[in-house]
Amino acid sequence: MYPQPHMTTEELPCRTEAFRISQQMLGRGSLSYEPTPNTLHGWAQADADVKDILERDGLAEVAPWTNDLVGAYTVHPLASCRIGDDPRTSALDDRHELRDHAGIFVTDSSAVPGALTVNPAMTIAALAERAMPGIVDAARERGIDVSYGVPVPRADGGQADPCR
């Protein structure tokens, strides 16, 4: 049931106009946004799925979504523990390992080096995937036996036992 990749809610960019806005400009100017029916459906389905998971497992009670004065508004915190070459400006090395704290790896949005102009979900996933070989190597350097990769499919279409 989860995830449902057909529920992409990203809009195609408008190629006729470009605007730059900031939080200080909200509520001013001619910029407007009307979500497409596909986006509205994706939002509703995502809300229903999250509500189902959280309430079915007794983790939380989910209140209905409401918009504030400026409409739908989300934040993607980035770069609080960024990767980079310079230890003075980046907490993580190129393997996503926390400097001066061996064995601690960060692969969430805080590792993204700076602000993006698009939804960061794919960038975060790509950085996490990029970090995996370094994490596996670091574990092996510390004597930890790590299996890495996807089980090889069997000739009959099933998956091979990853423990063999």
Least confident stretch, 2-11, 13-22, 68-77, 103-112:
2-11
Least confident stretch, 29-33, 46-50, 128-132:
29-33
Domain tally, the chain: 2
Residue 2 confidence (pLDDT)? 44
Residue 126 confidence (pLDDT)? 94
Farthest CA pair distance, the chain? 62
Q: What is the mean pLDDT of residues 75-102?
A: 92
Residue 20 confidence (pLDDT)? 54
How far, in Å, are 16, 61, 102, 140 from residue 147 at the CA level? 49, 38, 21, 10
Q: What is the mean pLDDT of residues 15-43?
A: 66
Average pLDDT of every residue of the chain: 78
**The domain boundary residue, chosen from 11, 44, 74:** 74
Question: Is residue 160 domain-resident?
Answer: no
Instruction: Tell me which residue range forms the domain holding 114.
Output: 75-146
Give residue 50's region: left, alpha or beta (phi > 0; psi -120 to 50): alpha
Question: Is residue 31 domain-resident?
Answer: yes
Summarize pLDDT for 89-133 with one digit per residue, the tens: 999 999 999 999 999 999 999 999 988 878 899 999 999 999 999
Same domain, yes or no: 45 and 23: yes
Q: What is the mean pLDDT of residues 34-54?
A: 87
Least confident stretch, 13-17, 90-94, 113-117, 146-150:
13-17
Same domain, yes or no: 104 and 83: yes
Q: How far apart, in whole angstroms, are the C-alpha atoms of residue 65 and residue 45? A: 12
pLDDT at position 146 over 50: yes
Q: Which helix (H) or strand (E) holds 135?
A: helix 121-141
pTM, whole model, 2 decimals? 0.51
Same domain, yes or no: 93 and 27: no
> By the 8 A CB rule, do 43 and 9 touch?
yes
Q: What is the mean pLDDT of residues 32-45?
A: 82
